[in-house]
């Protein structure tokens, strides 16, 4: 994984709209398919997860939302599984609602074709089952919400995040800890507390503002093939 250590600073950080524009230019002006950016992002996080597993327990929970952050999570789950890890995958949405949803839907279809068990988390019984299963994991991958999150978290996401924080299991956040405002660093009602955050292309302004430093943990900025000319 290519870590851009010299860019892990507030000086090089971007906000939500700036990052969205970088993605748009990479896809529309340079012709890089979004699915490639997602594949690179997910693979890079998976490599960091593998480096972070401590001890003999190779059971890893990957918790996905319904957007592109969740799509990254599907890629991560696939790479971890192919590397021999015991992966348990949770989806905070209905599978059928995502299968036709662009790049995330494509990656969900891939793991379905691999006969993955996809545990939908929709109600209280699902939440209890998820928490019980996660409690036996060595590490949690947070792919629930990405940089686009703006408003206060609603239930059940708020309660789920609080309960995961209480498990005291290391969390690796995908791009941004779920529940953190990308621009202001505000915890939007609840926020997952990461041991590490693997962010894409450039660090986000919210990592250095407000509550950001409390939740980000160790920050790693990784290249996902956005052309370097766009950073100049």
Comparing CA positions, the residue from 149, 100, 81, 91 lying closest to residue 118 is: 91
Instruction: Give per-residue pLDDT as tens, 115-139.
Output: 999 999 998 899 999 999 999 999 9
Note the pLDDT tens digit of each residue in 13-40: 999 999 999 999 999 999 999 999 999 9
Q: Residue 211: pLDDT above 70?
A: yes
Cis peptide before 156 (omega within 30 of 0): yes
Tens of pLDDT along 66-119? 999 999 999 999 999 999 999 999 999 999 999 887 999 999 999 999 999 999
Residue 145: per-residue pLDDT:
97
| Residue 131 CB contacts under 8 Å (≥ 6 apart), including other chains | 163, 164, 167
Domains present along the chain, CATH in parentheses: 5-227 (3.40.50.10260)
Q: What's the distance, CA 95 to chain centroid?
A: 18
Per-residue pLDDT of 55-72, as tens digits, reads 889 999 999 999 999 999
Q: What is the pTM of this model?
A: 0.95
Indicate whether 5 pLDDT > 50: no
């Amino acid at each position: 994984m290519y870590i851009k250590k010299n860019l892990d600073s507030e000086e090089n950080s971007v906000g939500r709209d700036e990052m969205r524009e970088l993605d748009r230019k990479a896809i529309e002006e340079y012709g890089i398919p979004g699915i490639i950016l997602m594949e690179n992002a997910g693979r890079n996080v998976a490599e960091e997860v593998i480096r972070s597993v401590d001890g003999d327990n190779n059971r890893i929970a990957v918790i996905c939302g319904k957007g592109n952050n969740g799509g990254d999570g599907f890629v991560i789950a696939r790479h971890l599984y192919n590397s021999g890890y015991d992966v348990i995958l949770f989806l905070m949405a209905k599978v059928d609602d995502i299968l036709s949803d662009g790049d995330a839907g494509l990656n969900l279809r891939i793991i379905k074709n691999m006969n993955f068990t996809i545990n939908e988390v929709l109600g209280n019984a699902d939440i209890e089952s998820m928490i019980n299963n996660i409690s036996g994991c060595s590490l949690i991958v947070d792919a629930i919400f990405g940089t686009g999150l703006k408003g206060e978290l609603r239930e059940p996401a708020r309660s789920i995040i609080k309960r995961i924080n209480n498990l005291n299991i290391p969390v690796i956040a995908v791009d941004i800890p779920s529940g953190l405002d990308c621009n202001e660093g505000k915890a939007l009602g609840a926020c997952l507390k990461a041991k590490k955050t693997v962010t894409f292309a450039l660090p986000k302004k919210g990592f250095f503002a407000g509550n950001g430093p409390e939740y980000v943990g160790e920050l790693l900025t990784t290249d996902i093939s956005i052309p370097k000319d766009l950073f100049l």
